[in-house]
Amino acid sequence: MTKTLFLEDSYLRECPAIVVSVKDGKYVTLDQTIFYPKGGGQPYDTGKIMKDAEAFDVVYVGKFSGEISHEVDHAGLEPSDKVCCILNWERRYRLMRSHTAAHVLAALLNKGTGALITGNQLEEDHVRFDFSLERFDKALLEEYLAKANELFGTDVDVKWYELPREEAMKIPGVVKMAEAFPPDLPALRIVEIAGLDRQADGGTHVRNLREVGKVVLVKTENKGKNNRRIYFRLI
């Protein structure tokens, strides 16, 4: 199994690694990685795998049968190669800021209106956010975005840690994002925004709400009786 360094330290931009396997010349597994595989509403990371002076662009990262596979742009990597992983940090950091922002907005909406968050998809330039709420207008939403922006101007710590599954499931609303967690996982990774929210989550986040900056509403859509969709982005 690949060691998932991004779950412990989301700020690692580089790491050494050893190539474990290569399929069809371009699907590479490593002994450890900083590349986040697509999943849980968060896009995959991009970047480079360096072998000496040769750069292999990482164009896709996915999880297949529990293994993290890095798709590179050309053949040449071999098992046992010593390599260096380098993230496209600008893209990843924006995704970290967006991801934490999405949790804050979800928590505020859920606490304030009882809305259930039914979907959450981060993209490089915006966040799509689905929730169920009967009464809904743009003014209300702008109010919640303003509340979120107020929080992003304050020092609030964000932490992540593992809890035994049984203990984690006692936290009210711990699985707010309707993300599926395999029932056989003995421990859940919790992302905690101090004083606001605790979520079971496998994504990468910033350490302090100040790092988010500010968000703005892009557009809203009604997707049926109680289904609302909004798009917001970082500025």
Q: According to CB under 5 A, which one of 203, 204, 228, 230 is a site residue for Zn ion?
A: 203
Distance of closest approach, residue 148 Cβ to Zn ion, in angstroms: 15
Question: Going residue by residue from 145 to 164, which x/- string records binding to Zn ion, judged by CB under 5 A?
Answer: --------------------
Q: How far apart are CA 146 and CA 102, in angstroms?
A: 14
How far apart (Å, rounded) are the C-alpha atoms in residues 98 and 133? Answer: 22
The residue type found at 62 is: G
By three-state DSSP, how is residue 223 classified? coil
CA R_g for the chain: 19
Helix (H, G, I), strand (E, B) or coil at 55: strand
**Nearer to Zn ion among residue 23 and residue 38 (C-beta):** 38
Nearest approach, Cβ of 191 to Zn ion (angstroms)? Answer: 7
Query: Token match 């743009």: residue?
Result: 138
Residue 225 CB, nearest distance to Zn ion (Å)?
Answer: 26
Of positions 168, 201, 215, 230, contacts Zn ion by CB under 5 A: 201
Residue whose beta carbon is closest to Zn ion: 201
**Shortest separation between residue 177's beta carbon and Zn ion, angstroms:** 6
Burial of 23 (0-12, 13-18, 19+ CB in 10 A): exposed
DSSP state of 31: S
For Zn ion, which stretch binds (CB under 5 A), given 7-15, 107-115, 158-166, 199-207? 199-207
Would you count residue 37 as binding Zn ion (CB under 5 A)? no
Looking at beta carbons only, is 26 or 103 nearer to Zn ion? 103
